[in-house]
Structure 1
């Protein structure tokens, strides 16, 4: 079994339900060992779209890296993701951030995720579950990387339902 870290994001539909559905589906194929709190984050890349909900999770898997990538991309489609512009709105996005401490570069897969160290929306939740994990290419911990990026606009997501007004 290998330890992996995944980043999940959504900004369409019932965002909290989208994340929950993805976690439940992932749990059928791997042993989830930690799930970060959910953060509401401003869009990155294409900014004229709704805010995202993001979280990270740690899991154990026997799937080799390319098979894992195929599994998560197929899962995105099963959960309702449709092709769209890069960095645009999406129902669900599942990124393979780390596969143990491996460095993999192929045409279809780059691990660690190549822009992970630039993205506070990934680093903040990842630091909640793996602050001491060392990025195998950069040699810095996730906690160090998280403090080095601008986290403006990223806030914990309070998914407590609004009180119902009966008057």
Structure 2
């Protein structure tokens, strides 16, 4: 049975073959087609560094139809990260490639090392901005809110307290 996944990608380090982070993300989007059918690709956007990272990121999202179950897709994504040169290191540090499953058509999934929807997606513009470019109406499990709603919560101006 095929499932549909929303996958976020990011890079902030050069790759010897793919060049700057934007090229890394574009190449990774092509590589992920090996795991199913990519039905939508967001633009690659530049985002500020976070945490221990020292360089700006290139971020994107894609929608993937795949026969893989969530743990198998996660294993495939982690294999792809390693193939692109990612090494274990500092959390929030610089990396050649980062791929995360943000959501899937099967609803919620919880297992050791994997939580879908991604626990922090609603607080991350670097995930929501590209995801909303391709799947603004995607709803989280057990939620009436769409990705566009979550994005609006992060981006709309809030009135100042009186």
Give the TM-score range, shorter chain.
0.7 to 0.9
Residue in structure 2 matched with residue 163 of structure 1 by the alignment: none
Give 3-state SS (helix, strand or coil) of 1:28's partner.
helix
Spell out the pairing of 1:9-158 with structure 2 (5 A cutoff).
9-13=10-14, 14-46=20-52, 49-150=54-155
Distance 1:5 1:136 in 2: 13
Structure 1 residues not aligned, in runs of 5+: 152-167
TM-score, scaled relative to structure 2: 0.88
Q: How far is the alpha carbon of 1:107 from its aligned partner?
A: 1.4
User: 5+ residue gaps in structure 2?
Assistant: 15-19, 157-162
| 1:22-73 deviation per Cα after TM superposition (whole angstroms, max 9, x unaligned) | 1121112210000011110012233x51100000000100001100000100
The count of aligned residue pairs is 150
Bigger drift between 77-86 and 16-25 goes to 16-25
Q: Deviation string for 1:119-158 (max 9, x for gaps)? A: 011001101101111111443100010111149xxxxxxx
Superposition CA RMSD, Å: 1.4
Runs of 4+ in structure 1 over 4 Å off: none
- CA offset digits 1:73-117 (Å, max 9, x no partner): 011001111111011100000001112141011112100000000
Find the residue that maps to 1:40 and give its secondary structure.
Answer: strand
